[in-house]
Amino acid sequence: MIEEARSGAAERGILEGLSDEEQNDIFRQIGLGALKFFILKINPKKRMVFDPKESVDMQGQTGPYIQNAVVRIHSIQRKLTDWNPDLVKNYTNPVPQEIQLVKYLQSYPELVLTADREKDPSVIASFAYELAKDFHKFYHDVRILKAETEEAKAYRLVLCSVVKDVLTKAMDLLGIEMPERM
């Protein structure tokens, strides 16, 4: 799986400028994350057929797809120059994508309890995938760093941070590390 992650990264020419050690750590995180997620996304009572190439795909219900959402947020946060988080309280007109993310984030605690009660990690895996999918849509549809107002920018940056934290915690429950770059 690590080699699948390495070959995929080589095709895309990513991670240039990082040391071999840093690259190897990222390939390990992606490869193991892909394997674990592929196994854990299936209800334990169901059968599955493992496909290594499908599991490292950057699109669809895969560990790397979810890891990529967190990596995008890290990238946004690295680009921050000047913003005032206190302006969040003045933001009064959220767009539908923001509302969708907030509603979905609110369901996380109950989903964790459900997964525990049912002894079914696929509940958390499905949640993480859906949250990542909603975040990717938000990322493509809504301006974050160049938002129309400073209040919108502050709100979106805080929302990104919460999404990153929840995705990281959900994937941690599945034993999957989240890289900062990929």
pLDDT in tens, 53-74: 665 555 778 899 999 999 999 9
Does residue 118 fall inside a structural domain? yes
In a domain, 182, yes or no: no
Q: Is residue 122 part of a domain?
A: yes
Q: Residue 63 is part of which domain span? A: 2-173
Provide the domain count of the chain: 1
Who's near 122: CB < 8 A, 6+ residues apart?
Answer: 40, 41, 42, 43, 44, 115
Whether residue 94 lies inside any domain: the answer is: yes
Name the more confident of 134 and 14: 134
DSSP-H helix ranges across 41-121: 52-55, 63-78, 96-106, 108-118
Average pLDDT of span 123-139: 97
Between 13 and 4, whose confidence is greater?
4
Output the domain CATH number for residue 114.
1.10.730.10
Residue 179 falls inside a structural domain? no
Residue 174 scores a pLDDT above 90:
yes
- What is the pLDDT, as a whole number, of residue 14? 65
In a domain, 44, yes or no: yes
pLDDT at 11: 59
